[in-house]
A and B are shown apart, each in its own frame.
Chain A
Amino acid sequence: MKRHGHTEKNEHSHDHLHEEISETSKPGYYEIMETAVRELLCEKQIIHSSEIRRQIEVLDSRTPALGAKVVAHAWVDPEFKARLIEDGRKGCEELGISFYDDTQLIVLENTEKVHNLIVCTLCSCYPRPVLGLPPDWYKLKPFRARAIYEPRAVLAEFGTTIPDDVEIRVSDSTAIVRYLVLPMRPDGTENLTEERLAELVTRDSMIGVVRALNPSEEQEK
Chain B
Amino acid sequence: MSLITQKVPIYLLDVASALNERPAFAVGDSVRVVVRFPVGHYRVPIYLRGKTGIVESIIASPAVDNETEGFGQNAGSKLHYYRIAIPMTEIWHDYVGAPTDSVRIEIYETWLEEDSK
How does the 8 Å CB contact mask read for B84-106 relative to A, with 1 for contact and 0 for none? 01001000100111101111111
How does the 8 Å CB contact mask read for B52-64 relative to A, with 1 for contact and 0 for none? 0000000100110
Which residue of B is nearest A148, CB measured?
B103
- Count of A-B contacts judged by CB separation below 8 Å: 72
Are the C-beta atoms of A177 and B97 separated by less than 8 Å? no
**Chain A residue contacts of B104, Cβ below 8 A:** 169-172
B37 within 8 A of A: no
Please choose the segment from A11-19, A42-50, A126-134, A149-157 that sits at the chain B interface, where 4 or more of its residues have CB less than 8 A away.
A149-157
Are the C-beta atoms of A166 and B98 separated by less than 8 Å? yes
Are the C-beta atoms of B103 and A122 separated by less than 8 Å? no
CB of A50 to closest CB in B, whole Å: 27
CB of A91 to closest CB in B, whole Å: 16
Which residue of B is nearest A147, CB measured?
B103
Are the C-beta atoms of A169 and B101 separated by less than 8 Å? yes
**Chain A residue contacts of B101, Cβ below 8 A:** 151-152, 167-170
Name the interface size band of chain A.
Answer: 20 to 34
**Chain B residue contacts of A150, Cβ below 8 A:** 95-97
Are the C-beta atoms of B106 and A152 separated by less than 8 Å? no
Complex partner residue of B43 from A149, A167, A169, A174, CB under 8 angstroms: A174
A124 within 8 A of B: no
CB of A153 to closest CB in B, whole Å: 7
Complex partner residue of A169 from B63, B92, B102, CB under 8 angstroms: B102
B contact residues, total (Cβ < 8 Å):
26
Which residues 64-117 in B have Cβ within 8 Å of A in the complex? 66, 81, 83, 85, 88, 92, 95-98, 100-108
How does the 8 Å CB contact mask read for A137-160 relative to B, with 1 for contact and 0 for none? 000000000001111110000000
Complex partner residue of A174 from B88, B92, B106, CB under 8 angstroms: B106
**Chain A residue contacts of B83, Cβ below 8 A:** 106, 177
How many Å lie between the Cα of A102 and that of B97 in the bound state?
35
Are the C-beta atoms of A175 and B105 separated by less than 8 Å? no
Are the C-beta atoms of A104 and B62 separated by less than 8 Å? yes
How many Å lie between the Cα of A106 and that of B81 in the bound state?
13
Which residue of A is nearest B57, CB measured?
A106
Are the C-beta atoms of B96 and A164 separated by less than 8 Å? no
**Chain A residue contacts of B62, Cβ below 8 A:** 102, 104, 176
How many Å lie between the Cα of A152 and that of B99 in the bound state?
12
**Chain A residue contacts of B105, Cβ below 8 A:** 171-172, 174
A165 within 8 A of B: yes
Are the C-beta atoms of B63 and A174 separated by less than 8 Å? no
10 nearest A-B residue pairs (beta carbon): A167-B100, A175-B43, A168-B101, A174-B43, A172-B105, A171-B104, A177-B106, A152-B97, A164-B98, A121-B45
**6 sampled A-B residue pairs with Cβ under 8 A:** A104-B62, A151-B101, A164-B97, A167-B100, A168-B97, A176-B62
